[in-house]
Amino acid sequence: MRILLVEDDALLGDALQVGLRQADHVVDWVRDGISAETALMTGDYAAVVLDLGLPRLDGLDVLRHLRAKKKTLPVLILTARDTVDDRIRGLDAGADDYLVKPFDLGELTARLRALLRRAGGQSSPVLAAGRVTLDPATRRVECDGSEVEVPPKEYALLHALMQQPGRALSRAQLEQHLYAWGDEIGSNAVEVYIHHLRRKLGPDVIRTLRGIGYVVAKAAAKP
Instruction: Provide the binding-site residues for Ca ion, judged by CB under 5 A.
Output: 8, 51, 53
Nearer to Ca ion, 8 or 135 (CB): 8
* Helix, coil or strand: residue 5: strand
Nearer to Ca ion, 69 or 101 (CB): 101
* 33-42 and 59-68 helices, crossing angle to 10°: 30
Nearer to Ca ion, 33 or 130 (CB): 33
| Residues 178 and 21 sit within 8 Å (Cβ to Cβ) | no
> Burial code of 87-119, b = ≥16 C-beta within 10 A, e = fewer?
bebbeebbbbbbbeeeeeeeebbebbbbbbbeb
Q: Report cis status (omega within 30 of 0) of the bond before 102.
A: yes
* CB of 30 vs Ca ion, minimal distance in Å: 12
* CB of 53 vs Ca ion, minimal distance in Å: 4
DSSP structural state of residue 68: H
The CB-nearest residue to Ca ion is 53
* CB of 51 vs Ca ion, minimal distance in Å: 4
* CB of 54 vs Ca ion, minimal distance in Å: 6
Nearer to Ca ion, 100 or 126 (CB): 100
